[in-house]
Structure 1
C-alpha cells in the first residue's frame, strides 16, 4: 500500500505539472517543450503497471528512475541529443545496441523511428522482463537480454551504434546492484583505467566508422563547492569517477576510437555530465 501511494503521488505531481504547462503555455521553471522524446506506442500507464508488478517502481522510498522515465519529455538534453543524432545520421538498417537499456525506452523509440535492427541489454532481470513485455505488447521486433555492461556479451559481431547513457558513472558508484569500484580519493590513474577497460570490448564490436555514445560525469565537478549542490557535503562523494575531455581522448585512442563530438549538460542530474561520441577509426 505504501508503494502504491508513492507511485500515486509521483503520478499526480507530473499530472499537475503537465496540466499547468498546457494551460499556461509554459512550464513552471522553463519553456514548454516543443517535442516529447522517447515515447512508445504502448501506453505509459500500461508500462508503469508492469514496473509496479515487477516490484521496482519504488526504490529507497521514492518513485524509481524506471517508473518516472517516460515523464522526462525534453528535460534530458543528452539523451534527446543522442536520439536525434542517431535518427538523422544513420541509415535505418544500421545495427544498434542500447546498453543499460532499462525498460527499453530508447530502443523502442528508435524502432518507432524506422530502425530495423535494435537490441538492448540491462544488468537487472526485472528491466529485461519489462522491456520484452513492452516489445510484445507493441509488436516490436527489438529484443532485450540480461548482461553486465562492464563485461558485456554480444549477439552480433558488428554494430553501427552503441549507446551507454546514464548508467556508467552510476554503476561505477555501486548502483544497480554493481560492486562499488572505488574507495576514498579517486586518482586520475584509476579513472583512466576504468574508462579504458569499459570502452575496450565495445570498441572491438563496432564496425569501422561506427560510434559509441557514452555519458560521463565531468571532472569539472571536482571543483564544485558543496554549497552549490542540494546534497551539500555528500555531493563531494557522489559519482566520483569523473573524466576530463583530455582523459577521454587518451582512453578512446588507446582502444582505436576517436572523439568526434562532445556535449555538456549542467541542467539534468547531480553533476555536470559530458556526452562523448566516439568513432571507430
Structure 2
C-alpha cells in the first residue's frame, strides 16, 4: 500500500487531479452550508437581478432568472458527481459479477454472457440511452407523483447509465478470472472442497480489486459526461434540480447575451472528466507492481 501511494504521488497529473476532485466534491457536499453562510437561496428567482455581474454578493453573477450562479454550480456538481459515482459503482458491481461468473464457470455460460456483452457493446450507446430515457415511467405503472419527483429522476438516470456501462468491467474481470483460477491458491481452495461461489467471492474477486478500482475510476468521468449529455438533451435530471448538463441546456440560447452561463458548467464538466481519466491512469501505475521497474 505504501509503495502504491508513493508511485501515485510521483504521478503529478494524477496527484493534481485527485486534489481537484477532492476540492470539487467537498464544495459540492458543503453547498447547503455555504449557501446558509452566504445567506443565498440558489432556488429563489429574482427577475430584477437577471445577468448580474460577479460581485461580493454574487461571486459568479446570476443566471437568466436571477439565481446565484455559484450556488447553482455547486448544487449541479453534487448531482452530477453523485450520478457518476453511483452509476460507476453500480455498473462496476454488475460487471464484476458477470465477469467473474463467466471466467470461472466457463462453458456455455461464458459463451452466452460474453456474446451478450458483445451485443451490448455493439449497440449505438447514445441513441439507446435516448430511447430508454424517453420512456414515460407513468406508462409502466409508476405513480405520477413519484415519476415527477426529483429523486426519481436522479435514480432513473443512475440506473440507465449503469445498465450500459458494465461491459468494460465485465470483460476486464473475466480476463483476470481466467488467470487467477489457474493459480495455486484457487486450486488449493478447490482441493479443500470449497464451493465455486465461495471461491469466486473470497478468492477471485478480491484479487481483481486493483483492476476494478482503475476501471471504476475511469468510468466515472464517462458516466458524468453521459449524464450531462442526457440532461443537455432534456432527458436527464429535470429542472428545477440543477446539474451541469441541464445548466448548459438553459444557457444555450443565451450564448451571445451571457456566455458565462455556458462557460462555467462546460468548464467544470471538462475538468472533472479529464481529472478522473488522469487519476485512473495514475492508479493503474500505482497498483501495478511492474510500474516500479519501469
TM over 0.5: no
TM-score band w.r.t. shorter chain:
under 0.3
Query: TM-score scaled by structure 2?
Result: 0.23
**Higher strand proportion (structure 1 or 2):** 1
Highest CA radius of gyration, 1 or 2? Answer: 2
**Higher helix proportion (structure 1 or 2):** 2
Q: Which has the higher contact order (CA 8 A, sep 6+)?
A: 2
